[in-house]
Amino acid sequence: MSFSKKLILALDFSEVQEALQWVDRFMDFVKIFKVGKQLFTSAGPQIIRDIHRQGGQVFLDLKYHDIPNTVAGACREASELGVFMLTIHAMGGLEMMQAAREAIDQRSSQHKPLLIAVTVLTSFSEQNLKDIGIVLPLKQLVLQYAKLAQKGGMDGVVCSVQEAKSIKKECGEKFLVVAPGIRLEERKILKEDQKRSSGIEAALQSGADFLVLGRSLFQAKNPVSLLKQTIEHYSS
C-alpha cells in the first residue's frame, strides 16, 4: 500500500465547517478522515454524509463498549452510513465483538466496514492500568486483547506502534493494525496526553497498516505543506 493510503487524519474539531474545510484542503493527498466522539457529538451522522459528498472515506472512531445487543445495533447503523472503518473496544469482550461482527455481516450491500477493536488506549501507561485494577504487563494485555479480537472476527486492532510487530507476528500479516498517537518528528504538541506515541519512521517499520495523524499535524504552522512534504519524503 502506498504511504499516503496508509494515512488517516483525525478530525478532532467541534465545528462542522472547520472539519469540512480541512477535508477539502487535504483531499488531494489523503482519503480517509477519522470522525471521533467530539465531531460526531457536535455534528451527528450528517458529517459522515458530508465527508462522503466531498469524496472522502470515514473512519468512525466511536469506540463502542456496551452490552452485545447495543453494540450490534450501533454497528448496524454505522454500516448503513457507509463508513470505511469503525471501532469497538476489545475490553467489551468476546460476545460483544462477535455480536458486532454478526451485525455487520448481515448487511446486504457489498460494502462492509472494517471492524477494528481498540486494545489499550495509547494514552495509557502501565501505571494507569494499575490504577484501574489491571495488573497484567501492558504489552501482554495488548496481545491478549488482539488475540481475543481475532477470535471475535475483527478485521484488526488499534494499538500503539510499540505493540504492532508482536501483534502481526501473533495474529498474522493480514490482521490489520491501526496506529494512533503518531508524532511528526521533532514536533511537540500542546497538552500531550499520549504515553505511547511514535514517529512515522518507527510506525512504518512496525508494519502498521494505517497511521492516524491528529494534533501533531493540525497544530503545525502550515498543516497542508507539512503533510505534502511528509508524503513526498516517505513516498520516495
Active site residues: 63
Q: How far is CA 37 from CA 26, 62, 147, in A?
A: 21, 6, 26
Is 59 in contact with 53 (CB distance < 8 Å)? no
Nearer of residues 68 and 214 to ligand C5P, judged by Cβ: 214
**Residue 4 class from Cβ within 10 Å (0-12 exposed, 13-18 middle, 19+ buried)?**
middle
Nearer of residues 147 and 195 to ligand C5P, judged by Cβ: 195
Residue 61 sits at φ, ψ, to 5 deg, of -105, 70
Nearer of residues 91 and 107 to ligand C5P, judged by Cβ: 91
In the bound complex, what is the minimum distance in angstroms from residue 88's beta carbon to ligand C5P? Answer: 11
Q: Return residues touching ligand C5P (CB under 6 A).
A: 10, 12, 36, 61, 118, 121-122, 158, 180-181, 194, 212, 214-216
Nearer of residues 40 and 102 to ligand C5P, judged by Cβ: 40
Radius of gyration of the chain (CA): 17
Among all residues, whose Cβ is closest to ligand C5P?
214
- State the Cα torsion 127-130-135-139 to the nearest 10°: -40
In the bound complex, what is the minimum distance in angstroms from residue 198's beta carbon to ligand C5P? Answer: 11
Nearer of residues 108 and 127 to ligand C5P, judged by Cβ: 127
In the bound complex, what is the minimum distance in angstroms from residue 59's beta carbon to ligand C5P? Answer: 9
What whole-number distance in Å separates Cα of residue 81 and Cα of residue 103?
14
Name the 3-class secondary structure at 6. Answer: helix
Cell of 229: 512534504
Closest CA to 172 of 155, 160, 189: 155
In the bound complex, what is the minimum distance in angstroms from residue 98's beta carbon to ligand C5P? Answer: 21
Is 220 in contact with 185 (CB distance < 8 Å)? no
The angle that helices 46-53 and 16-26 make with each other, rounded to 10 degrees, is 30
